[in-house]
Chains A and B, each alone.
Chain A
Amino acid sequence: MENIIEIKSLRKEYDGFTLEDVSFELPYGYIMGLIGPNGAGKTTTIKLIMNLLRRNSGEINVFGKDNLEHEMEIKSRIGFVYDTPTFYEHLNLKQMKSIIAPFYTNWDEAMFQGYIREFELPLKRKIKALSRGMLMKFALAIALSHHAELIIMDEPTSGLDPVFRRELLDILSALIQDEKKSILFSTHVTSDLERIADYITFINKGKVVFSRTRDEILESYGVVKGGKELLREENNGLFAGLREHKYGFEALTPNLQEARRKFKTGAVIEKATLEDIMFYTGKGGGNG
């Protein structure tokens, strides 16, 4: 399978934070969600792909090309949405669009107008008078209107109401119907991803905990809940992240099958959600 994004051993050092040994691939035609708590390194990773930050070492290939050497070509083929869209406040949407559109050789005005209608955006209103949700929709309309082959979005669903979030998922899954386009987006609203994402990359404290298909992840992880008598040493290897409370414990297991075999009685075993995985991994374990 050919990859639209390939990242190998990516490293970026800051004061007090290091993104290290980040590697993952996204094939053509699929959706990947980048998850992790705030400050885990999601935005840093995305900015490194977009060359908005200089990497210290590692490789980033987009469309099979180095992202530094072919920066201009690659960027014109990407639809990019920042977590905080920045536009000129005193302009209205129409004026802002007229400034951005010429940068894209493949700008499609009809498509843009279509999204403006679909998203119910007031073209004559000034940027500073728009809500965060509306700004996000405007940024999306722009990202989707120049026939981008890769859509990269940093927290696109934050600030959007649940109704529009669902609609966005529909738009995204329609986009990959041609088997050529791909989507990478970061989010901490994991319920959005739980259904639609094909691949999930989980970053915690600057490192990749896993980068696998959604199905593999949700089939292998589970949450075990039971009495403290089950917290024996022999079971330690089964748990990645644990929360003890007065009357028992809840733990994440990366080995659902094994846990089901081991705790036939005396424990409740449930499927883990991505949120569970993020929560418990933050509570220790970490090596997933």
Chain B
Amino acid sequence: MKIIIANSSPDPIYEQIIKQIKTQIISGELEEGTALPSIRKLAQELNISVITTKRSYEDLEREGFIDTVAGKGSFVAVQNKEFLREKRMKIVEEKLGEAISEARMLGLGIGELKEMLGILYDEEGIDSFPENEKEISNV
């Protein structure tokens, strides 16, 4: 598990922790059944308040990402593949929502936005090609 707390972030610390653990669970870096550090241990390691880490774990548990067993600690919950896919879809929707509201402020229409999306979608694909292929396809 990897957690980086940014003091400059506008997000409160408990949210930064939630986001990073969620991302690692969704991406599979944190596998099902992996034991998480205790609330107090994590607070000590990160030099933050126990109440902060407690809140992060409680929220993660409520959303079904982790299970807490009294006396044993917290573990990455068994993830339903559908559930994970839905979560990731939701993230895509959220990000698109942000892009749309920015576009509205600029007065961009749906046509222009779609065109922009098309171009970016293709470019994103090219980025994952090896370097030489990318050059060829750019020509």
Chain A interface residues (CB < 8 Å from chain B): 29-31, 169-170, 173-174, 176-177, 179, 195-199, 213-215, 218-219, 271
Check A197/B49 contact, CB under 8 A, given A215-B14, A218-B12: yes
Which chain A positions have C-beta within 8 A of B49?
31, 195-198, 213-215
Q: Is the CB of A215 within 8 A of B47?
A: no
When chains A and B are docked, how far (Å) is the Cα of A219 from the Cα of B40? 21
Which chain B positions have C-beta within 8 A of A169?
47
Q: Is the CB of A176 within 8 A of B50?
A: yes
Interchain residue pairs with CB less than 8 A apart (17): A30-B50, A173-B43, A173-B47, A174-B44, A176-B50, A177-B44, A179-B40, A195-B49, A196-B49, A197-B49, A198-B50, A198-B51, A213-B49, A214-B49, A214-B52, A215-B49, A215-B52
Contact residues, B19-77 vs A (CB, 8 A): 40-41, 43-44, 47-52, 55
When chains A and B are docked, how far (Å) is the Cα of A198 from the Cα of B14? 13
Which chain A positions have C-beta within 8 A of B40?
176-177, 179
Name A169's closest neighbour in chain B (CB-CB).
Answer: B47
Which chain A positions have C-beta within 8 A of B47?
169-170, 173, 195-196
When chains A and B are docked, how far (Å) is the Cα of A170 from the Cα of B13? 18
Is B10 interfacial (CB 8 A cutoff)? yes
When chains A and B are docked, how far (Å) is the Cα of A199 from the Cα of B50? 10
Most B C-beta atoms less than 10 A away, residue of A170, A173, A179:
A173
Which chain B positions have C-beta within 8 A of A271?
10
Which chain A positions have C-beta within 8 A of B43?
173
Which chain B positions have C-beta within 8 A of A215?
12-14, 49, 51-52, 55
Which chain B positions have C-beta within 8 A of A179?
40
Name B40's closest neighbour in chain A (CB-CB).
Answer: A177
When chains A and B are docked, how far (Å) is the Cα of A29 from the Cα of B50? 9
* Minimum C-beta distance from A136 to chain B (A): 20
* Minimum C-beta distance from A10 to chain B (A): 24
Among the listed A30, A173, A174, A177, which residue makes an inter-chain contact with B51, where contact means beta carbons less than 8 Å apart? Answer: A30
Which chain B positions have C-beta within 8 A of A219?
12
When chains A and B are docked, how far (Å) is the Cα of A155 from the Cα of B40? 25
When chains A and B are docked, how far (Å) is the Cα of A170 from the Cα of B48? 10
Which chain A positions have C-beta within 8 A of B51?
30, 198-199, 213-215
When chains A and B are docked, how far (Å) is the Cα of A19 from the Cα of B47? 33
Which chain B positions have C-beta within 8 A of A173?
43-44, 47
Name A271's closest neighbour in chain B (CB-CB).
Answer: B10
* Minimum C-beta distance from A189 to chain B (A): 15
When chains A and B are docked, how far (Å) is the Cα of A228 from the Cα of B40? 46
Among the listed B10, B41, B55, which residue makes an inter-chain contact with A177, where contact means beta carbons less than 8 Å apart? Answer: B41
For the complex of A and B, 4 pairs with smallest distance between CB atoms: A173-B44, A198-B49, A198-B51, A213-B51
When chains A and B are docked, how far (Å) is the Cα of A171 from the Cα of B44? 9
Which chain A positions have C-beta within 8 A of B52?
214-215
When chains A and B are docked, how far (Å) is the Cα of A213 from the Cα of B54? 12
When chains A and B are docked, how far (Å) is the Cα of A213 from the Cα of B52? 9
Which chain A positions have C-beta within 8 A of B14?
215
* Minimum C-beta distance from A34 to chain B (A): 15
When chains A and B are docked, how far (Å) is the Cα of A54 from the Cα of B59? 45
When chains A and B are docked, how far (Å) is the Cα of A215 from the Cα of B16? 13
When chains A and B are docked, how far (Å) is the Cα of A128 from the Cα of B136? 77
When chains A and B are docked, how far (Å) is the Cα of A213 from the Cα of B12? 13
When chains A and B are docked, how far (Å) is the Cα of A159 from the Cα of B103? 53
Which chain A positions have C-beta within 8 A of B12?
215, 218-219
Which chain A positions have C-beta within 8 A of B50?
29-31, 176, 198
When chains A and B are docked, how far (Å) is the Cα of A197 from the Cα of B40? 13
Q: Is the CB of A196 within 8 A of B48?
A: yes
